[in-house]
Amino acid sequence: MNLERAMIYNRIDLHQNVRLPAEWERQSGILLALPHKLTDWNYMLDEVLYCYRHIIASIIEDEPVLLVVDDINEAKSKLAGLDLNRIIFHSIGTNDTWTRDYGPIPLMVDGKPELCDFLFNAWGMKFAADKDNLVTSLLADNGAFTCPIRNHRNFVLEGGSIESDGNGTLLTTSNCLLSPNRNGAFHKSDIEVFLKSALGVENIIWLNHGALSGDDTDGHIDTLARFVPNDRIAYVASDDAADFHYEELKLMERELASFTNKDGKHYELVKLPLPDPVFDENGERLPATYANFLIMNHQVLVPTYSQPKKDEIAMDIIRQLFPERKVVGIDCSPLIKQHGSLHCSTMQLPENALKL
């Protein structure tokens, strides 16, 4: 695939000013999908719904929630006691709840919001995705958005696999974006051409190291390293040489130190602790990470894992990164049991994109 074909297939207009915003830019709301009995959460539904209530209650203090549910009346019953006027319900079938990866990816086009609908195949065809893959288009059909939708459903892309500094640089991992079960027909150079044309980025930096045990996304960047304001990257690191992740995260740190923005300036690195190991009932280590935080207009929601010392250290660091925002910890111990966390379960919508 060359640039010309990418432009024609995706109806990309080179005369438009297309920009991939940073997460800390103004938002109109947050998209979530509520766990229900037909998902993998069925065996622990009450536990995970308690977590979702906490997430939603925290979000609606700041922004509206666009909530995908299996049954609206049942969902309202589960969320009784919250301000339901701050929640916009849409009944749409889902396989799972990780809206970060199948929800729309926001763009700014000539200064106005648009949303991109990419193909979702459940992290390289690992799980069923027939319903999740349709959520963005069905939300659009239901009138949930006030801005145009760009159809990029010829290309697999998950929101958790990319990070934007809002100024033309995209950070991703080669292990994920070059996975043969995603866009295996394309070479790395093809993928770069496509991403630059579709998302308006100028500089793509590829992370070749860094992985967390139990991560079934092939190394989503939002579990490892995150852009934060003022040309900084917050990243996870281990200080325990005996930890399985120690060497790989050290290699990742060295890579991050070599990266520059589109103007050739190195990013300032800010180290986040790696949580103490969290295991499932079979003894498998789970991909717990503090990098999976959600940035909102006036808050940053940070996943915690019932580890008071580490949790507070991580939150203190994030408070310093976002001094003008309230930092709120959310116990995501239930979410990590299905190998995801807070950022994975949410997707921000840019200002003036959500129909209120």
Residue 326 Cα distances to 142, 289, 298, angstroms: 33, 20, 6
Of residues 51, 147, 176, 344, which has the active-site annotation?
344
Task: Output the DSSP codes for 135-162.
Answer: HHHHHHHTT-BSS-EEEEEEEE--GGGE
- State the Cα–Cα distance between residues 287 and 284, nearest whole angstrom: 10
User: Quick one: which of 11, 52, 28, 15 has its CA closest to 331?
Assistant: 52
- State the Cα–Cα distance between residues 117 and 167, nearest whole angstrom: 22
- State the Cα–Cα distance between residues 353 and 350, nearest whole angstrom: 6
Q: Specify whether 176 is catalytic.
A: no
Residue with tokens 């930096």: 205
In sequence order, the 6+-apart residues with CB closer than 8 A to the CB of 277 are 243, 285, 288
For residue 246, the SS3 value is: helix
Residue type present at position 332 = C
- State the Cα–Cα distance between residues 18 and 13, nearest whole angstrom: 9
For 118, phi then psi, to 5°, come to -95, 165
Residue with tokens 């950022």: 343
- State the Cα–Cα distance between residues 191 and 196, nearest whole angstrom: 8
Angle between helix 3-10 and helix 188-199 axes, rounded to 10 deg:
50
- State the Cα–Cα distance between residues 222 and 291, nearest whole angstrom: 6
Catalytic residue list:
344
